[in-house]
Structure 1
Amino acid sequence: MENYMNFIEKAWRKFIITGEVDANVRSEIAESWVRCKKCNVDPYNGKGNVKHSDIDKLIKNNIELISVARPIMESIYSRVSGSGFALFLSDKDGYLLEIIGDKDIMERVNELNFLKGELWTENIVGTNAIGTALYLNKPVQTIGAEHYGINQHTWTCSASPIHDEDGNLIGCINMSGNYYNAHSHTMGIVTAAAQSIQKQMALTISYKLLNVTFDSISDGMIVFNENMKVKRVNGRALDILNISLEEAMEMDVDKFLNGIHFHKLFKEQNKSLNNIEWDFCIKNRLVKCVINVVPLNVNGKNNGAVITFAEVRRVHKLVNKFAGYKAQYKFDDIMTSNKEMKKMITFAKKAAISDCNILIQGESGTGKELISQSIHNYSGRFKGPFVAVNCASIPRELVESELFGYEKGAFTGASKEGHPGKFELADGGTIFLDEIGELPLDIQSKLLRVLDNGKITRVGGTTEKQLNVRVIGATNRILKNEISKQNFREDLYYRLSVMEIKTIPLRKRIDDIDILIKHFIKELNLKNKEKFIRINNFYISDLKKYNWPGNIRELRNVVERDYYLSDDEITSVNNIDYIQENIESVEKELDLSERKLNIVPLEELEKKAISDAIKKCNGNIQMTSKLLQIGRATLYRKIKKYQINVSK
């Protein structure tokens, strides 16, 4: 940023002195400078110097724009307060209508005559975000010396034009502050604000034309007067609340939205409620919605309010869309020619259609999440969300709130609005609980209840929410052994494993190694277009001799490493000692097994494996967990269980 500020300052001085524009100056700024020069704007000024002749008339002519924009500006300001930014609203001609800012920034605003009623067009004050945005009719950001007037060189401004529902320019919203606080996100903020204002303006107009347009609104809408009497209800509201028009018209607003103090809200000018989760109490039912309440205060008189609302599920669906809660893989993406794998896929497809709970058991790296995503996409839930949760990665004290959500004020540090859990976000789709064997026992009992009745209760909440979620669990543990150790609930196991799928380790599907290697190389060649690597058959033969304890994940790792270490053809495994040691180890194990040695208890083997791994990694727990391919939380628990000295 500092380099750019130095460059643009030099480019500005060059233009002012010579009239020549540096080719590296943004075109929209360069063109604006040229326009300013033609208009004889004083580059050594940049302060407002033309005031509207009748400010009261100006405000009156734009009262609807101001009344809609003011709450949105206040909402934005509440988030940036103290950061050195101020918000401005102008009409379509560039006259300032509204200003909100901190005391310090307002002092600087006064110095520039950046005041209500002042005209801030290019031909008056030079290149600036408001004037240039209005001239170009598009969002504009101006930083430092990009402003034509020198008095604005310490400012950064982002502005976006505002249009009515017919696309006509009606005003502009601007966010200004110190130039060293310049950031691209301010442009996003004002653009989103302009869009919000446009939507709210459309809502105001639609109220006037309610008889024609009311039922075309996608959200539920209820209009009531100053006496809390319902006057209008659209069809979407009736559908969401599952009531008749007659029942809706007789509703007591204070009762069906219990807890919102409407009378207090009406007393505050231009006060509204935006995007809050609230329960409609309808015929002893709770309907969870996200609502907006906009009072109809005209010239200081309360005329009631408009409530718009959408079901929480619909809002969560939008959240899932942007948060990426979507399954990418399908059964067709599974590369195999192995008979057992094909049998497993056939069974998984039947399980997908059944809509039963599913348990996937198998070693790490065998594609448990790939199979779970494929099941989701093959099922009738494919249009719904797919939410994956790694149970081992969540701190124990946060597991319940992460899975089931929490209400506002449920605990110290909780969001003021509350927060939906992963189960709520998965409503209508699938939740994938990876490493489910790591769940604490108390959470297992709550999960069992969810599996039994499909209902969840948020942390700090008192009401149950009915959900429609399919649960797919996955683990690399043998859960029946965990049950005997009292680490996993037996009733949860049987409730979860209605359909049980066991993934097949790579060492038991050697015939797939050829296919997988070629697939990985093809992907890498497509990704790295500057090189094309071929595979030697001896390379594939070498890899088929390996035992692959890390399964497909390890195979991909080896192939990718050899790919980048090769020039044009992979002829051998680069880390051949590593592979040979494993081959010899496997042969030795086979030889020993033929002698029918006494079986060593699994716990002793596990303890020795962990101890050896810790020594090899010099006590580094993160490296050890990667080497053993287990989560750090699991590793710490086993270290404690076996009383292993980490400092060795």
Structure 2
Amino acid sequence: MDEKIFRLSIKNSHERCKKWGINVDQVYSRKILNEVELQKKIAINRELIVTSASYMEMLTEVTKEHEFFALLTDGEGCILNSIGNEKILSEAFAMKMVPGAFMDEKDMGTNAMSMVIRDKTPIKILGKDHFVKAYHKWGCCAAPIRDENKKIIGVLDLTGYAKHIQSHTLGMVMAAAAAIEDIMMTKQSNRLQDVTNKHIKTIFDQIPVALILSDVDGKIKMCNKKGLHMFGSRENKLKTSEMSELIEDWEEIRKSIYIGESVSQEVNIYALRNSFKCNLTAIPIYNSEEDVIEIVYTFEEIGKNSVKSKKAAQNCRAFYTFDKIIGEDENFLKIVEYAKKISDSKSTILIMGESGTGKEVFAQSIHNYSSRIDGPFVALNCGAIPKQLIEAELFGYEDGAFTGAKKGGNIGNFEMADGGTIFLDEIGEMPIEMQTRLLRVVQEGTITRIGSSKPISVDIRIIAATNRDLKKEVEKGNFRKDLYYRLNVLPIYLPPLRQRKSDILLLAKHFFKSIGKRLNKPDIKIPEQYINNMLSHDWPGNIRELENVIELVINTESIPTHYFREECCDMEPFIELKTEYLNLDYVEKQHLIKVLKKYRANITHCSQVLNITRNTLYNKIKKYNIDVTQFL
């Protein structure tokens, strides 16, 4: 900085100090943060502090012969860190030049840090250039630290006794500040790139077809979840990193890509599940110079998933998710978290619990929380299918396999669930002879249709459920011991409702709201004296029973005492309706809504049915603030 400009700048700063009311005999900053406020500052500027620390140490190490200390402030002048010679640093601390103290002009007068913040340029301040006398013995060199938008986010300062300040001291500080800026910007750039990559990967993974990205030499750079499922190993890794080892005749495809042609053809694929055919589309990606730099491949497996299979699986969807599971009981919430944790595992799950505890709800939620969410969810109640039909249901059959077999054959539940999840409810009811065949599926991942000797590979996640004690069934000889251990890899036990009493009212309120809305019934308030009865009831049918009872209450506005234990049977037979539902206006409004809905808000028809004039009907619609557009 030119000497005249520098002197004028110092003079102006001193004048401002007088206006701020700074006393030349002042020693301490007028603003020092308390511990809580300081910790917030440090948290906000943690990266700046960490990045600057090594450069501050370097500056004090280079100047250790002459006793210097380095300070780092934020963009407002608040000291964030101090490093240096113990002797001179103790003097600074005695003057409360400590983290949390503000060195800006309003609070500490003219100094190097305040001048940098004010003039936004590196500066060297010596002796009496400082406004307060306590600093006259020191010389300070400071430089700004800017972000990518050139905003000052910090100031780096090196302070020592004025006689030891050299001509190159400011240069060292400026170089250190510039280095800190570069590192901070590089980190920011890397963070932005990392965020961008994560966004791209997230989008990539949500695409419901198998995608692979490679460079022009076929080196695989990225593969989405669907691709990992199709080509990956049990460790969720691709079997290879080269497209030439994955696709037959890949060199021919690359030649087409090189001359700017997209490729769409049937190819043979080599993967963990042996060779199979796919429809392949390969599209080149160009840089700004129109050179091919990457190739995007999409794959759709053919042959295995026939049109018949796809149509059959269209209705095989899971609707429940973990966020729809109602409960606040501490142990129950731990079970939910455990279920989430194991959702993406390929191991079999055995869900145990009494009838009505929500076993299928958990199974669907696990499926929807896993990477198989886009695949089918096939549910089969093993106890609801006759013994002579269960084999055909599970494994399918070929044309003419038995008398009455459907022409062309039929796929079974395991094939239908390929790429997704099969839920075998009431597994304890499965006939012992079928358990042997199920064991083979669990062990080998293959099924064989009735009337065929050709094994078919299936990629499925098996979730079984039972309300029986399978250990006891094994002891009785009703359930295979080896199958039990194959299924019980990841056990989940759902507690009965009587063991999660705190959730009864929560569930009841949920069912009153959801069922009432579905049945277009008014809200019903349970009198306070009935709540204890609900909590003390055993609910042997668990959540299903509670839901059914509440639907009964909503429909009849009463609750039979036989749903409760004997000591609870002193309940009054009727649940109170809210007072507002007893007045005539409410009844009239509800009747108008029914008529408007039935005749799709045709005012002429509605007025005729109600035997009132059109104007009267309009007035009543206005009175009750009925939105007729919802009925059109």
TM-score normalised per structure 2 = 0.43
TM-score normalised per structure 1 = 0.42
Larger radius of gyration: 2
